[in-house]
Chain A
Amino acid sequence: MNKTLLIFRHEFLHTIKRKGFIIMTLIVPVLALLGIGVFQLISTIEKPPVVETTTIGYVDEAGGFGQYTTQGNIELVPFDTPGDATAALINGDVPEYFVIPPDYMSTGVINRYTLEKEVETPPIITTVIKNFLTSNLLSEKVPPETVYRIEAPLDLVVTRLTETGEVATEQGGYGNVIIPGIFSLLLAFSLMFSSSYLVQGLGDEKESRLIEVLLSSVSTRQLLVGKVLGLGAAGIVQVIVWLASAPLLLRLASSSLGGFISTIQLPANFIVLGIVYFALGYLLFAALSAGVGAISPNAREGQQLSMIYSLFVFVPIWFSSLLFIFPNSPVWVVLTIFPVTAPMAAMLRLGVSGIAAWELAVSIAVLVLSIIGVMLLAIRAFRVYLLMYGKRPNWGEIIQNLRSG
């Protein structure tokens, strides 16, 4: 058998037998199943919550705010003076009250009193007070339907059309973002862990001098290509397990949980692009780790150095909330093309806004070229720094040696 293949097989089997890899691979379906199970258990034990009616006191000093005292499940109780309302509050008759001052019509000021320490007024209370005031102000001036429409002016229903004017099969929304979001996060962690395996493995081989035994049998190129491909294949196994379990889990979850879960769907092309980006991401990080393993004198220093590029994998995730607000920002194009962030950025964007075909083509091409480039540099660095057991060279020395080596 070809020696690269032998190393590939050894590294692949070694990786997929590692406890960390097995846990990371199985934790997704297992946790999801556990979550569904726990939810079902709780829903069978617990009865549906009973909607409790609460009361809020108010003092009408302006006059004319005596109607519409029932707002949903909240009852508004009038008090004659603020003193009465305060006494009721202290006695626990009402959890809070508000005062409509005499100059309300000119100032719009409403004074709210509560015993709770709050960052801001809960939105439900604000809505109740607002609707109560609106209803009373418009009472007998406009029909009740108009009052209701003013209080709830829109229920926005968006339909995405294709370029030919038909209703698109993929309608977007949060349901579309969930799977790519989770995958992006898992990929980020997975890349971080796998980089760590490779750096650790190379560091151990260098420290134990096993590397010399290996290089007395194979070339540096065979050794590194075998290792990188072995790790890449392990990454593909991981993503296939996740992707294969996703539809099954979703079906199980939507039938038992229903609601929002039933709106979750896999975006078109996600499976294919997911595998492509996962594999390329793994290969790039494996090549980077090989380079770091080459210039590091031991596993510990290699791990520290690998943190630099490992942190990059989280950049698109840190800024993912901005993706919802500015989905078409050029920053996202840059993150999709920049090789270290490309796999995560691409997955996130697939769920939120989609990616133009040219961007995908450029992103994948840059990733492939980066893998080849980093691999060639890693092979060179490996040869130059293989026997540097004592100290790590500084960056100036590395650049100089890579040029001359």
Chain B
Amino acid sequence: MHAVEVSHIAKSFADKVAVGDLSFSVAQGEMFGLIGPNGAGKTTTIRMMMDIIKPDSGEVTILGEKLTEATKDKLGYMPEERGLYKKLSVLESIIYLASLKGMDRRSATEKANQLLNQTGMLDSRKKKIEELSKGMGQIIQFIVTIIHDPQLVIMDEPFAGLDPVNTELLKGMLADLRNQGKAVILSTHQMNQVEELCDRILMISNGHAVLYGNLSEIRARYRGNSVLIDCKGEMGEVPGVTAKRPHKGYTELILDGKTTPQQVLTHLISRGMVINRFEVATPSLNEIFLKEVGKKS
């Protein structure tokens, strides 16, 4: 059973197509990246998954069934813009929102204290939300999202506005969730975070899927015919290499199309060269993103 199964969903607002015929699935125990430029339709897709808005067509199943009140208790959602009751205390906010996920007050309090302690915010539990910094508010929002031990966690731009320390904290907690077998969907346009965390991705642009699948497979698909090398000494002529592009700390060797990276490596080793780094050049997700989105637009 998939954690999420989206089948041919579409949504238009007035004359504008926000999402057009989108299908994808997310497995349990998977970290899934929903990526795309601003206005691509990521948030609309998430809102349709959450049953906050109805799709014009298509179907969504969450944890094997259509979203019901009972299923809602098994998912955690953190929207892009954070919102909590400003006048309530941190602990009261967490307990109230946890109770709406079916937790009783006692276990919500216990778990809230545990998570506040884990995130170093236990001392702030009696503070009003309006007294917190933006980053602290975001951590509280994260706690609210996961406190009820959801099977599926959906996070819209989770790292926006977070400092490096809190970003690492959040990443660690997300990795823990995945390791516990939960499905995690990250919607973001921060490609480096997706590259670091996600197993599979769906890239959308103008409401349509551009790329979908395993991240390493996608990157392999976009792999060019060059290698990156950092070695001591003069390389001299290398058979099969048509050009050398020096970069800071390494050199990019452009291959002729017939020569494989292994042949180049064997040749250099046979010449007794000391090689510190040898890497088949793979484009970053950001480069793929720019290429694909640029192609579309």
Q: Which residues of A come within 8 Å of B, CB atoms? A: 1, 3, 6-7, 10, 204-205, 207-219, 222, 383, 386-387
Task: State whether B85 touches A216 (Cβ < 8 A).
Answer: no
- Chain A: which residue is nearest B69 at the CB level? A219
Instruction: Find out whether the CB atom of A212 lies under 8 angstroms from the CB atom of B84.
Output: no
Interface contact B96-A10, CB-CB below 8 Å: yes
CA distance A219 to B77 in the complex (A): 15
B136 at the interface (CB under 8 A from A): no
| Of B46-54, B194-202, B208-216, B267-275, the one with at least 4 CB within 8 A of chain A | B46-54
**In the assembled complex, B79 has its CB within 8 A of some CB on chain A:** yes
Nearest Cβ distance between residue B252 and chain A, in whole angstroms?
A: 45
Cα–Cα distance between A214 and B99 once the two chains are bound (Å): 11
Q: Quick one: closest A residue to B81, CB to CB?
A: A209
Instruction: Give A258 to B47 CA distance when docked, in angstroms.
Output: 66
Which of B77, B81, B83 has most A Cβ within 10 Å? B83
Interface residue B97 (Cβ < 8 Å from any Cβ of A): yes
Residue from A7, A208, A387 in contact with B52 in the complex, judged by beta carbons closer than 8 Å: A387
Interface size range of chain B in the complex: 20 to 34
Contact A212 B77 (CB under 8 A): yes
Number of A-B contacts (CB under 8 A): 66
Contacting pair A216 B52 (CB below 8 A): yes
Residue of B whose beta carbon sits closest to that of A207? B83
Alpha-carbon distance between A10 and B85 when the two chains are bound, in angstroms: 11
Given A10-B96, A212-B47, A387-B53, A217–B81 Cβ distance below 8 Å?
no
Q: List residues of B (47-80) whose CB comes within 8 Å of A's CBs.
A: 47, 50-54, 69, 72-73, 75-80
Would you call the interface of chain B mostly helix, strand, loop, or mixed? loop
- List the B side residues contacting A214 at CB < 8 Å: 97, 100
A71 to chain B, nearest CB (A): 67
**Residue contact B84 to A210, C-beta cutoff 8 Å:** yes
Q: How far is the CA of A208 from the CA of B76 in the complex (A)?
A: 18
Query: Smallest distance from the beta carbon of B249 to chain A beta carbons, Å?
Result: 44
21 A–B contacts, CB within 8 A, in A order = A6-B99, A10-B96, A205-B83, A208-B84, A209-B80, A209-B81, A209-B82, A212-B79, A213-B83, A213-B97, A213-B144, A214-B100, A216-B52, A216-B72, A216-B76, A216-B77, A217-B72, A217-B73, A222-B69, A387-B52, A387-B53
Supply 8 further A-B pairs (C-beta < 8 A) apart from A3-B69, A209-B79, A212-B47: A1-B99, A6-B100, A7-B100, A212-B50, A212-B52, A213-B77, A214-B97, A216-B50
Q: Which residues of B contact A (CB under 8 A)?
A: 47, 50-54, 69, 72-73, 75-86, 96-97, 99-101, 141, 144
Kindly state the separation between the CA atoms of A231 and B75 in the bound complex, as whole angstroms: 29
CB of B83 within 8 A of CB of A210, answer yes
In the complex, what residues of B have CB within 8 A of residue A207's CB? 83
Task: Report A358 CB to chain B, min CB distance, Å.
Answer: 42
Contact of A213 (CB < 8 Å), options: B51, B69, B73, B79? B79
What residues on A are CB-neighbors of B82 within 8 Å?
A: 208-209
Docked CA distance A37–B24 (Å): 74
Residue of A nearest to B96 (CB): A10
Residue in A closest to B97 when the chains form the complex, CB atoms: A213
Complex: chain B residue closest to A17, CB-CB: B87
Chain A nearest CB from B53 CB (Å) reads 6
